């Protein structure tokens, strides 16, 4: 494997453009992904702020933004969802941290296909630019939601934003799929072929396992979404009828016939459900890594954790129909999807038990990365336990398309995944930038964000129970929903505070990049290979040699060892299992 690795080594580039713009170095590409996601998350968060303001003060006119009309509100939620799911939750954990740390953690000098890696990033970047352009074209951004249900998304006259804006939206997603397919191939090949001597599969850090499984999910899921997107473009522009039957929009008979609106839903959710795991699995990997490191204990049930990741990946492809219980799909198939969905709760529960088992009997160092990993577990539990409600078709009847669903997925794939990204940021920042982030600011960021996200998203469950439908720009038209506005108002205030404190994070990030105290090579006394090399790592990651691995990834507190941790490349004889 080391010989394969040397074939892929390439000389360090000179010159600004080859070094920082069109770089082939996985570390630079990882940072490019990270900063793209950082830009995207602030755009997405700003859109959600506008939505929260509009829900409470519909008449308010904001400087630069202007009036928010019902269709503007729908454009905001469409763009918020699309930006967050694709360009943040898929981009930062996998494209960002995965790119930067997967090769280093397995002892490789770079990704298997550096040029493909560069193309993958720049395709993602172009996709983002095209998506944002939808705001500025005639008619504005589309209003069909991030799920883009046909026929709404397939008919240019079904509403404002459904003309050029919707074409840009589909094109952006299709390009994103292409980029993700390139990335997935690269991750899978790298993990299989470029592991250092001694880095057996069962010695890989759980982060590597999670990026690897995520890449397999991406490879299988994005291809389907790409095809679905191309068919949608054909329906929209060439008069085909994949998704559109004979319909009459505002008295006008459209030219389509025979298409199936449910086909889009099947194709979309065949991608869409695995996508949830694409967003959260890397967070699980980071949580495992950080909880073990800061508890100074081996992860509880390493093998169970790896197998749980695999079974979540496998089951993740058999549950897409649980998004469609109310769609008119055969009610018999609902049983199968429902049982599989309940089954996927089992490996998720195993992970939680094992995180608690890791904490138990540890010597927990409560530094900022650990705070966010603990927050991740709390949010994962809260968001996960509303799943078994929605997984039961009879309970989905009152809850489907209400705020209960919005609360559920924001906690689990939104905020929990974001906490995974925060934990990863605070944890790997010293390695990436050679300096430490400020602990005090990190603590402020953690406590307010955790309390704030619960204050925003827990009430959504209550609203959903009371029947508050999602994607309503105002609640004044339905009497029973009007009564729920005070709770919505509370959530808007909670959102102000929570979004505000993210500026503390942003400040900490950039201030520490230049002014933070210098970091040592291994500030957290961790065991995996990225901590054995220089900070920041040299171009070929290990400065001309290839590491040899002797241990599993989480050898903390080994009785009889000289220190309370044994690094993976340490040939020490006191050893592990």
Partner 1 sequence: MGLAILVLIWLITFFSTYFFAAKTWWLPHGVSTSAPWIDHQFALTFVVMGVVFVAAQVSLGYLVWKYRARPSSGPVRYSHGNTTLEILWTALTAILFIGLNLMGSSVWATERFEPAKAGSVPVEVTGMQFAWYFRYTGPDGKFGSTDPKLIDPSSGNEAAIGLNTSDPAAKDDVVAGTMFLPVNREVDLTLRAVDVIHSFFVPNFRFKQDAVPGLAIHMHFTPTEIGDYEIACAELCGLGHYKMHGMVKVISQADFDKWLAQREADKQ
Per-residue interface string for the shown chain with partner 1, residues 271-300, x marking contact by CB under 8 A: ------------------------xxxxxx
Strands 66-67 and 61-62: antiparallel
398 sits near partner 1 (criterion: CB under 8 A): yes
Please, how many CA atoms are within 13 Å of residue 172, restricted to the half-sphere of its CB? 27
DSSP string, 135-187: GGSTT-S--STTTT-TTTTT-TTSSTTTTHHHHHHHHHHHHHHHHHHHHHHHH
Whichever of 33 and 300 has its CB closer to partner 1, that residue is 300
Phi, psi of 574 (to 5 degrees): -65, 115
Rule CB under 8 A: choose which of 39, 240, 327, 489 binds partner 1.
Answer: 327
Given the rule CB under 8 A, which of 193-201, 314-322, 477-485, 521-529 is the region that contacts partner 1?
A: 477-485
What residues numbered 538-557 form the site for partner 1, per CB under 8 A?
A: 556-557
Distance from C-alpha of 114 to C-alpha of 10, rounded to nearest angstrom: 9
The least distance separating partner 1 from the CB of residue 550, rounded to whole angstroms, comes to: 16
What residues numbered 40-99 form the site for partner 1, per CB under 8 A?
A: 69-71, 74
Given the rule CB under 8 A, which of 101-109, 216-224, 450-458, 525-533 is the region that contacts partner 1?
A: 450-458
The least distance separating partner 1 from the CB of residue 245, rounded to whole angstroms, comes to: 3
Please, how many CA atoms are within 13 Å of residue 198, restricted to the half-sphere of its CB? 15
Rule CB under 8 A: choose which of 11, 64, 477, 573 binds partner 1.
Answer: 477
Whichever of 384 and 516 has its CB closer to partner 1, that residue is 384
Please state, in angstroms and as integers, the Cα–Cα distance from residue 285 to each residue in 77, 85, 210, following that order. 29, 19, 5
Q: Which long-range contacts (CB under 8 A, 24 or more apart) does 479-482 make?
A: none
The least distance separating partner 1 from the CB of residue 112, rounded to whole angstroms, comes to: 31
Going by C-alpha positions, the residue among 134, 242, 136 that lies closest to residue 144 is 134
Rule CB under 8 A: choose which of 242, 409, 454, 550 binds partner 1.
Answer: 454
410 sits near partner 1 (criterion: CB under 8 A): no
Rule CB under 8 A: choose which of 17, 59, 238, 394 binds partner 1.
Answer: 394
What residues numbered 221-250 form the site for partner 1, per CB under 8 A?
A: 244-250
The least distance separating partner 1 from the CB of residue 271, rounded to whole angstroms, comes to: 19
Given the rule CB under 8 A, which of 30-38, 81-89, 394-402, 418-426 is the region that contacts partner 1?
A: 394-402
Whichever of 218 and 452 has its CB closer to partner 1, that residue is 452
304 sits near partner 1 (criterion: CB under 8 A): yes
Query: Site for partner 1 (CB under 8 A): how many residues?
Result: 118
Strands 252-253 and 61-62: unpaired
Around Cβ 489, how many Cβ atoms within 10 Å?
A: 14
The least distance separating partner 1 from the CB of residue 308, rounded to whole angstroms, comes to: 9
Rule CB under 8 A: choose which of 39, 227, 240, 469 binds partner 1.
Answer: 469
Distance from C-alpha of 428 to C-alpha of 30, rounded to nearest angstrom: 12
The least distance separating partner 1 from the CB of residue 206, rounded to whole angstroms, comes to: 13
386 sits near partner 1 (criterion: CB under 8 A): yes
Beta bridge partners of 320: none
Distance from C-alpha of 406 to C-alpha of 469, rounded to nearest angstrom: 10
Provide CB contacts within 8 A for 516, sequence distance 6+: 433, 435, 436, 437, 438
């Amino acid at each position: 494997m080391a010989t394969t690795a040397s074939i892929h080594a390439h000389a360090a580039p000179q010159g600004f453009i080859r070094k920082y713009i069109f770089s082939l170095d996985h570390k630079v590409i990882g940072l490019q992904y990270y900063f793209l996601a950082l830009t995207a998350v602030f755009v997405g968060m700003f859109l959600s702020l506008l939505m929260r303001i509009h829900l409470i003060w519909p008449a308010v006119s904001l400087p630069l933004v202007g009036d928010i009309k019902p269709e503007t509100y729908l454009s905001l939620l469409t763009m918020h969802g699309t930006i967050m799911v694709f360009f943040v939750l898929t981009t930062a954990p996998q494209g960002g941290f995965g790119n930067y740390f997967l090769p280093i953690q397995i002892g490789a000098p770079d990704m298997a296909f550096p040029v493909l890696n560069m193309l993958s990033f720049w395709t993602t970047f172009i996709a983002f630019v095209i998506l944002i352009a939808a705001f500025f074209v005639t008619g504005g951004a589309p209003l069909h939601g991030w799920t883009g249900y046909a026929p709404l998304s397939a008919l240019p006259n079904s509403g404002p934003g459904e003309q050029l804006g919707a074409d840009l939206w589909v094109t952006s997603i299709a390009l994103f799929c292409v980029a993700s397919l390139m990335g997935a191939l690269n991750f899978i090949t790298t993990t299989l072929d470029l592991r250092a001597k001694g880095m057996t599969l069962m010695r890989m850090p759980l982060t590597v396992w999670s990026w690897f499984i995520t890449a397999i999910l991406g490879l299988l899921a994005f291809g389907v979404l790409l095809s679905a997107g191309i068919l949608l473009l054909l329906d929209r522009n060439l008069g085909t009828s994949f998704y559109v039957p004979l319909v009459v929009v505002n008295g006008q008979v459209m030219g389509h016939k025979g298409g199936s609106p449910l086909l889009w839903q099947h194709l979309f959710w065949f991608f869409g459900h695995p996508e949830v795991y694409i967003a959260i699995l890397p967070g699980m990997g980071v949580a495992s890594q950080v909880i073990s490191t800061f508890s100074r204990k081996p992860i509880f049930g390493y093998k169970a954790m790896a197998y749980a990741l695999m079974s979540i990946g496998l089951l993740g492809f058999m549950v897409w129909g649980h998004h469609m219980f109310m769609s008119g799909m055969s009610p018999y198939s609902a049983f199968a999807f429902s049982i599989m969905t309940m089954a996927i709760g089992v490996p998720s529960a195993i992970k939680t038990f094992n995180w608690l088992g890791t904490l138990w009997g540890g010597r927990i160092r409560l530094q900022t990365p650990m705070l966010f990993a603990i927050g991740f577990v709390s949010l994962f539990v809260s968001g996960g336990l509303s799943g078994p409600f929605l997984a039961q078709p009879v309970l989905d009847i009152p809850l489907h398309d209400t705020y209960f669903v919005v609360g559920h997925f924001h906690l689990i794939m939104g905020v929990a995944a974001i906490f995974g990204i925060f934990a990863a940021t605070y944890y790997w920042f010293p390695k990436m930038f050679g300096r430490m982030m400020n602990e005090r600011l990190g603590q402020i960021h953690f406590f307010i964000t955790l309390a704030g996200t619960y204050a925003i998203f827990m009430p959504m469950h209550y609203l959903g129970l009371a029947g508050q439908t999602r994607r309503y720009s105002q609640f004044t038209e339905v009497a029973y929903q009007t009564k729920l506005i005070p709770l919505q108002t509370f959530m808007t205030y909670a959102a102000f505070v929570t979004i505000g404190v993210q500026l503390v994070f942003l400040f900490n990030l950039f201030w520490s990049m230049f002014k933070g105290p210098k970091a040592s090579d291994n500030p957290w006394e961790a065991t995996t290979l990225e901590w054995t090399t220089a900070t920041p790592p040299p171009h070929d990651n290990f400065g001309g040699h290839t590491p040899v691995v002797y241990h599993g990834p989480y050898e903390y507190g080994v009785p009889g060892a000289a220190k309370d941790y044994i690094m993976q490349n340490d040939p020490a004889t006191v050893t592990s299992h």
